[in-house]
Amino acid sequence: MVNLRDRVKELMSRLEADYRSRTRKSLEFFNRAAALLPGGTTYQIRFFKPYPIYVTRAKGVNVWDVDGNQYVDYWMGHGAHIMGHSPDFVVKAVNEAALNGTHLGYPNTLEVEYAELLTKVIPNAEMVRFSNSGTEANMYAVRLARAYTGRKYIVKVEGGWHGGYDALHVGVNPPFEGPESLGLPEEYIKYTLIVPYNDLNALERALSSHDVAAVIIEPVPGSGGCIEPQPNYLRGVRELTMRYGSLLIFDEVITGFRLALGGGQEYFNVKADIVTLGKIIGGGYPGAGAIASTSEIMELLNQVKRPNARARSFHGGTFTGNVITLTAGYTMINYR
């Protein structure tokens, strides 16, 4: 009788040998990178054993590595390329925009037009602020929720990934306890409560026993396993947050524009108080993120009405609303 474990081990050994034979130049680059970049990459999830491929070109559904191998790409730029790599109509629009400046550093007309588009397609979004990433959007959304409610505690779900922001970089991997990184003191996460997804009883216990500013949740947890919400779960989350005076933040960095044009809010017919966006919102270009909410909440960011910096919630960033990313995102989302 064949031992299944031994058989799998044999097949994996053969696959690795074949991989190594086809990717010799990638190995050379990895060896060079390992001496310069910790772990040989700029992001640990891009590493896989025995070493990653080094991609030189991407178009449509394909990528090509430095050895000339062609692959069908299911990764799609961390999920940012909903229409594949480098759609011609997006690249054309970006190239034209770049002729008028790559980073203006001033308010630009496109940030107004894009905000107008987003407030039309995203439920409950009356105002928008652009950020440089989904992580930044979540960071500023949490700050905004705390400013609006005057409360400190944040609730997130087990396995929920909201970027590297200190207060949310907890409870991502089993056993869902403690910080997910060195350099995060317990004090940084002491106001973060973790509950299981699809468990309304656990959520109510957290809300009833703490002054919770907001519950942040992906309508469908991406890194948490793409778990489908049980019937009426998200509606129950909405009802509980309203009952206990907490805000509901939908992290739609992954689900936004993917489940529906209006994201998880539209698909599940549940309105959040604050929505965070990333990835697709930049049309496949870097520096992509946004916060959207009601005017009442977003006015806490208004430097005109609140000239005293300590009387408002801060939001900013050198490349926020940069014209290249806005052009790509606007062209992508507005595509018909």
Report pLDDT digits (tens) over 192-210.
999 999 999 999 999 999 9
Q: How many CB atoms lie within 10 A of CB 122?
A: 25
pLDDT score, position 1: 62
CA–CA distances in Å: residue 250 to residues 129, 254, 332? 15, 11, 22
CATH number for the domain running over 88-333: 3.40.640.10
Greater confidence (1 vs 38) lies with 38
CA–CA distances in Å: residue 41 to residues 161, 245, 312? 20, 43, 38
pLDDT score, position 235: 98
Residues contacting 170, CB < 8 A, separation 6+: 156, 178, 179, 180, 184, 189, 192, 194
HSE at residue 307, side-chain half, CA atoms within 13 A, is 0
- Helices (H), strands (E): how many in the chain? 12, 10
DSSP-assigned letter for residue 84: -
- Alpha-carbon span 47 to 52, nearest angstrom: 5
**Poorest-pLDDT segment among 104-108, 220-224, 232-236, 243-247:** 220-224
Cis geometry, peptide bond prior to residue 175 (ω within 30 degrees of 0): yes
83 three-class SS: coil
β-pair partners for 106: none
User: And the tokens for 241?
Assistant: 């947050």
Q: Per-domain residue ranges for the chain? A: 4-54, 88-333
Q: Is the pLDDT of residue 224 over 80?
A: no
CA–CA distances in Å: residue 289 to residues 45, 206, 316? 20, 29, 12
pLDDT score, position 336: 80
- Alpha-carbon span 155 to 70, nearest angstrom: 43
How much of the chain, in percent, has pLDDT values that exceed 90?
A: 91
Give the CA diameter of the chain.
Answer: 77
- Alpha-carbon span 221 to 254, nearest angstrom: 9
Averaged confidence pLDDT in the chain = 96
pLDDT score, position 178: 83
DSSP-assigned letter for residue 179: B
| Residue length of the chain | 336
